[in-house]
Amino acid sequence: EAAVTQSPRNKVAVTGGKVTLSCNQTNNHNNMYWYRQDTGHGLRLIHYSYGAGSTEKGDIPDGYKASRPSQENFSLILELATPSQTSVYFCASGEGTGGIEQYFGPGTRLTVL
């Protein structure tokens, strides 16, 4: 069973529209993350969370909000989507002593027209 799932897997949105990407994990990890992946940039951290109710800004938070209503769920919200936010978005959960191991979901391909 996949431990980190994302929905939707593909999304087409219009400029200025609101987009919500959802992530669910069954690993019971405290830490969850949202990344975007673009060619030449690798994985860039948008927001992360240490547990239910917490959200922290990553390296590129502008234009994104995050919500962690429970241990299992972590959402990424684009209030006013722009074409520059067209990308593949990955959610991950993670835990570890002596170095964190992150478990990634399958990704959501978002196209903003």
Partner 1 sequence: QQQVRQSPQSLTVWEGGTTVLTCSYEDSTFNYFPWYQQFPGEGPALLISILSVSDKKEDGRFTTFFNKREKKLSLHIIDSQPGDSATYFCAASVSNYNVLYFGSGTKLTVEP
* Interface ranges with partner 1 (CB under 8 A): 4, 31, 35, 40-45, 48, 50, 58, 90, 92, 94, 97-107
Handedness of CA 55, 16, 36, 42 (dihedral sign): negative
Per-residue exposure over 97-106, b if at least 16 CB sit within 10 Å of its own CB, e if not: eeeeebbbbe
Minimum CB distance to partner 1 smaller for 3 or for 77: 3
| C-alpha span between 93 and 20 (Å, rounded) | 18
Minimum CB distance to partner 1 smaller for 4 or for 66: 4
Least distance from partner 1 to the Cβ atom of residue 4, Å? 7
Least distance from partner 1 to the Cβ atom of residue 82, Å? 23
Closest listed residue to residue 77, CA positions, set 3, 30, 13: 13
Minimum CB distance to partner 1 smaller for 62 or for 97: 97
Look up residue 84 and give its DSSP letter: G
| C-alpha span between 33 and 48 (Å, rounded) | 4
Least distance from partner 1 to the Cβ atom of residue 59, Å? 8
Minimum CB distance to partner 1 smaller for 75 or for 108: 108
Least distance from partner 1 to the Cβ atom of residue 16, Å? 29
